[in-house]
Chains A and B, each alone.
Chain A
């Protein structure tokens, strides 16, 4: 018979191993969730930012290759307004991000964002980030983690200004960014 103490040790060891593995796998899963959120933001939105008549794909762009991998897996074969989703990895700031419909800026892209957004207004592009000050710096939607869950905050005015009419159903789910006029 296995002694009680030995059994307790084995259980504790298994729990630690599980925690470690989860921390290691958190990023791709989180990315997958976030890619899903991007997809759903597009689905609940109308406006000129994406015209399926002139675009063959809905382009989701990001500078984060891990995100791209996760998003491609998550959004494979999905469509927005009957157009397949194309997940596109931006490799440089010079690349034309105008073809992007959604631009995701991960935590590590804050500096890039600073460069891109400087004195520049983006029209027909949904801007989604995940770092502090993103909305204040001109972003539309910003992810944040609460209780281990991905939540988001929205600046509806900027979305409107960018030609994006997001459904109130989504707006209601997110935290409305309060700006100081």
Chain B
């Protein structure tokens, strides 16, 4: 701490220092002034005294000088040496010659004024100058006087300083203490944030006013503090509630109230990371046909069904199991520390059993089944992702095997998936590698036995797999969307081949039919525009290519698909219904859609010879088509008897191995257009 901090570190010290400095400065100034004044006064007085002495002596000394009476003159000046400060006296004539003189060596202790004071007066008699009296004196008397005066002043100075100090103490008590008290309280409030503290009002001046204002300010702050605390408490409670709600929402499904995906995945992750010998099973559940229920009965029914299914499943579960809803109609069940697979199997069976009784929703009885896939930790996988994925694979297996059943995961499922992925990869490169080929199966006019149409059937020549039948890859192509590109290739190739056949002399009305997947209509039917331009470029009319769609497509498709079919129809493209009679066989679409051809499914033709009802059904279908002016093609004719029956029933066209199996274009041309 330096001197400045000591002197001016606090108000007390400042006031004390200022007062003392003012007192000291004033005292010193006054002392100096008085000293100078005293010095002048004393000096003048001494000079005056010496002058007086000289003037007293002068007349007699003048006379002595005039009468050359040295003795008398000496007698007169000799007493001067009795004066303590007079060191010499000398009488000189007008020529400067000494008449008489005295000198004394004084032992005065002179420290300040070392010069001598000289008083010299002329010795005159009636205007005539006879000589000079010179008296020299030291400053010892003046110095003594000055020293005494200085000591006196120092005493006064000390007294003033003491009085100033006492005054500062008094001021501290009456002026500074209220201020320092206020500052202490303010500092305490700042350090402790305790706004209950108050400063004493110790004076009625500005400081007292300041203390009052400070107390009022503290009161205001305290009130605000309380108010803020209350608000903060309220908001904290609200935040806690909101946080709790958010946590609940974050980890629970709002519809069913069950734990949600995040909760169950976190829990699975926690279980897997536990070092103990944990084992558990997860059951992936998916409602069968829930989409249809949603679509037919509405989403509100769907939601209510989900709630009821959730409750129903939850009721069947043991306490060690946790049911969570992943989303949509997917659920997952976690069963911890189960005893055996049989226990899990029993749970699955119980779920199937409980669901089999159906649910009553808004007075409507709804039946729903569920497909279940089961994966076990650590036997099947050791990560959450794998376990969930394997449960899904097992669940898909249940879906594939007829739904309403459950399967435990096994590695074959994974292998199937891997194979499917390889197939997809191969499919993606097949178009680029030009691995597809169109085979053509003739459609014969049964009355003339002449070829009138042909169906283009795709074949995939894989360099490793060999010939891959359409049944193996079409569904996969549809699943991954590759069917759009493949379908466009088929349509273009068929058109291209038809153009070639026309050049080889094919009949003007000869048509080729191509199968179109529902997926091809889901992208807005852009392929059609391109295809029309392509067909026109080949010089073909729009009715040269028949578009075959399955009966299911018409039944299941949306309005947009129907509108695109209508668009095709308006462009003059004939529409054929493939596999007629095996689907829903809703005849209403025949009324809505202007269908050109019905292709009776092979299953009806197969039993023509043995089952009368097959024959009756074929007859009805043929009659129906005849009444609606729709051409009929019977598929899968394999012998003459079948052909004869169909001919007898009035069927116009036939297709099947009786006439020809599907042939490559070259063979097809050779066989039917005499190309050697």
Q: A43-B125, A43-B126 are in contact. Are A173 and B59 (CB under 8 A)?
A: no
Chain B residues, CB < 8 A from A37: 67
B167 contacts chain A at the CB level, 8 A cutoff: no
A27 contacts chain B at the CB level, 8 A cutoff: no
CB-nearest residue of chain A relative to B63?
A: A169
Q: What's the Cα separation between A23 and B613 when bound, in Å?
A: 213
A44 contacts chain B at the CB level, 8 A cutoff: yes
CB-nearest residue of chain A relative to B73?
A: A173
Q: A82 to nearest B CB, angstroms? A: 10
Q: How many chain A residues touch B (Cβ–Cβ < 8 Å)?
A: 12
Q: What's the Cα separation between A44 and B62 when bound, in Å?
A: 11
Judging by beta carbons under 8 Å apart, are A170 and B68 in contact? no
B72 contacts chain A at the CB level, 8 A cutoff: yes
A73 contacts chain B at the CB level, 8 A cutoff: no
Q: What's the Cα separation between A172 and B75 when bound, in Å?
A: 11
Q: Which of A30-48 contact B (CB under 8 A)?
A: 33, 37, 40, 43-44
Across the interface, A169 reaches (CB within 8 A) one of B59, B68, B126, namely B59
Q: Which of B47-103 contact A (CB under 8 A)?
A: 59-60, 62-64, 66-69, 72
CB-nearest residue of chain B relative to A40?
A: B66
Chain A residues, CB < 8 A from B64: 173
A149 contacts chain B at the CB level, 8 A cutoff: yes
Q: What's the Cα separation between A173 and B72 when bound, in Å?
A: 6
Q: A7 to nearest B CB, angstroms? A: 31
CB-nearest residue of chain A relative to B75?
A: A172
Judging by beta carbons under 8 Å apart, are A40 and B68 in contact? no
Q: How many chain B residues touch A (Cβ–Cβ < 8 Å)?
A: 12
A91 contacts chain B at the CB level, 8 A cutoff: no
A137 contacts chain B at the CB level, 8 A cutoff: no
Q: A44-B63, A167-B63 are in contact. Are A173 and B69 (CB under 8 A)?
A: yes
Judging by beta carbons under 8 Å apart, are A149 and B68 in contact? yes
Chain B residues, CB < 8 A from A43: 125-126
CB-nearest residue of chain A relative to B59?
A: A169
Judging by beta carbons under 8 Å apart, are B125 and A170 in contact? no
Judging by beta carbons under 8 Å apart, are B126 and A172 in contact? no
A157-169 interface mask toward B, CB cutoff 8 Å, 1 = contact, 0 = none?
A: 0000000000101
Q: A33 to nearest B CB, angstroms? A: 8
Q: What's the Cα separation between A167 and B64 when bound, in Å?
A: 12
Judging by beta carbons under 8 Å apart, are B60 and A172 in contact? yes
Q: Which of B415-456 contact A (CB under 8 A)?
A: none
Judging by beta carbons under 8 Å apart, are A170 and B67 in contact? yes
Q: What's the Cα separation between A149 and B72 when bound, in Å?
A: 13
Chain A residues, CB < 8 A from B62: 169
Chain B residues, CB < 8 A from A167: 63
Chain B residues, CB < 8 A from A172: 60, 63, 72
Judging by beta carbons under 8 Å apart, are B67 and A40 in contact? yes
B99-133 interface mask toward A, CB cutoff 8 Å, 1 = contact, 0 = none?
A: 00000000000000000000000000110000000
Interface of A is mostly: helix
CB-nearest residue of chain A relative to B76?
A: A172
Q: Which of A134-181 contact B (CB under 8 A)?
A: 149, 151, 167, 169-170, 172-173
Across the interface, B63 reaches (CB within 8 A) one of A149, A151, A173, namely A173
CB-nearest residue of chain B relative to A168?
A: B60
B577-609 interface mask toward A, CB cutoff 8 Å, 1 = contact, 0 = none?
A: 000000000000000000000000000000000
Chain B residues, CB < 8 A from A33: 68
Q: What's the Cα separation between A33 and B67 when bound, in Å?
A: 9
Chain B residues, CB < 8 A from A173: 63-64, 67, 69, 72
CB-nearest residue of chain B relative to A152?
A: B67
Chain A residues, CB < 8 A from B63: 40, 44, 167, 169-170, 172-173
Q: What's the Cα separation between A33 and B68 when bound, in Å?
A: 10
Q: What's the Cα separation between A170 and B72 when bound, in Å?
A: 11
Chain B residues, CB < 8 A from A44: 63
Q: B130 to nearest A CB, angstroms? A: 10
CB-nearest residue of chain B relative to A170?
A: B63
Q: B308 to nearest A CB, angstroms? A: 158
CB-nearest residue of chain A relative to B61?
A: A169
Q: B128 to nearest A CB, angstroms? A: 9
Q: What's the Cα separation between A86 and B251 when bound, in Å?
A: 157
Q: Which of A8-34 contact B (CB under 8 A)?
A: 33
Q: What's the Cα separation between A33 and B69 when bound, in Å?
A: 12
Q: What's the Cα separation between A38 and B125 when bound, in Å?
A: 15
Most-contacted residue by chain A among B62, B66, B67 (CB, 10 A): B67
Chain A residues, CB < 8 A from B59: 169
A118-130 interface mask toward B, CB cutoff 8 Å, 1 = contact, 0 = none?
A: 0000000000000
Q: What's the Cα separation between A154 and B68 when bound, in Å?
A: 17
Q: A121 to nearest B CB, angstroms? A: 28
Q: A147 to nearest B CB, angstroms? A: 9
Q: What's the Cα separation between A151 and B69 when bound, in Å?
A: 8
Q: What's the Cα separation between A181 and B60 when bound, in Å?
A: 30
Q: What's the Cα separation between A15 and B72 when bound, in Å?
A: 31
Q: What's the Cα separation between A35 and B660 when bound, in Å?
A: 202
CB-nearest residue of chain A relative to B60?
A: A169
Chain A residues, CB < 8 A from B68: 33, 149
Q: What's the Cα separation between A37 and B66 when bound, in Å?
A: 8
Q: What's the Cα separation between A173 and B62 when bound, in Å?
A: 11
Q: What's the Cα separation between A4 and B450 when bound, in Å?
A: 200
Q: B72 to nearest A CB, angstroms? A: 5
CB-nearest residue of chain A relative to B70?
A: A149
Q: What's the Cα separation between A33 and B60 when bound, in Å?
A: 19
Chain B residues, CB < 8 A from A149: 68
Q: B68 to nearest A CB, angstroms? A: 7
Chain B residues, CB < 8 A from A40: 63, 66-67
Most-contacted residue by chain B among A33, A37, A44, A167 (CB, 10 A): A44
Q: A66 to nearest B CB, angstroms? A: 21
Chain A residues, CB < 8 A from B125: 43
A43-68 interface mask toward B, CB cutoff 8 Å, 1 = contact, 0 = none?
A: 11000000000000000000000000
Q: A28 to nearest B CB, angstroms? A: 17
Q: What's the Cα separation between A119 and B59 when bound, in Å?
A: 38
Most-contacted residue by chain B among A33, A149, A169 (CB, 10 A): A169
Q: What's the Cα separation between A44 and B59 when bound, in Å?
A: 11
Q: What's the Cα separation between A10 and B59 when bound, in Å?
A: 47
Q: What's the Cα separation between A167 and B66 when bound, in Å?
A: 13
Q: A151 to nearest B CB, angstroms? A: 8
Q: What's the Cα separation between A68 and B581 when bound, in Å?
A: 202
Chain B residues, CB < 8 A from A169: 59-60, 62-63
Q: B445 to nearest A CB, angstroms? A: 194
Q: B70 to nearest A CB, angstroms? A: 8
17 additional contacts, CB 8 Å, given A37-B67, A173-B63? Answer: A33-B68, A40-B63, A40-B66, A40-B67, A43-B125, A43-B126, A44-B63, A151-B69, A167-B63, A169-B60, A169-B63, A172-B60, A172-B63, A172-B72, A173-B64, A173-B67, A173-B69
| 18 contacts across the A-B interface (CB closer than 8 A) | A33-B68, A37-B67, A40-B66, A40-B67, A43-B125, A43-B126, A151-B69, A167-B63, A169-B60, A169-B62, A169-B63, A170-B63, A170-B67, A172-B60, A172-B72, A173-B64, A173-B67, A173-B72
**Shortest 3 CB-CB contacts between residues of A and residues of B:** A169-B63, A173-B69, A173-B67
Give the B-binding residues of A (Cβ under 8 A). 33, 37, 40, 43-44, 149, 151, 167, 169-170, 172-173
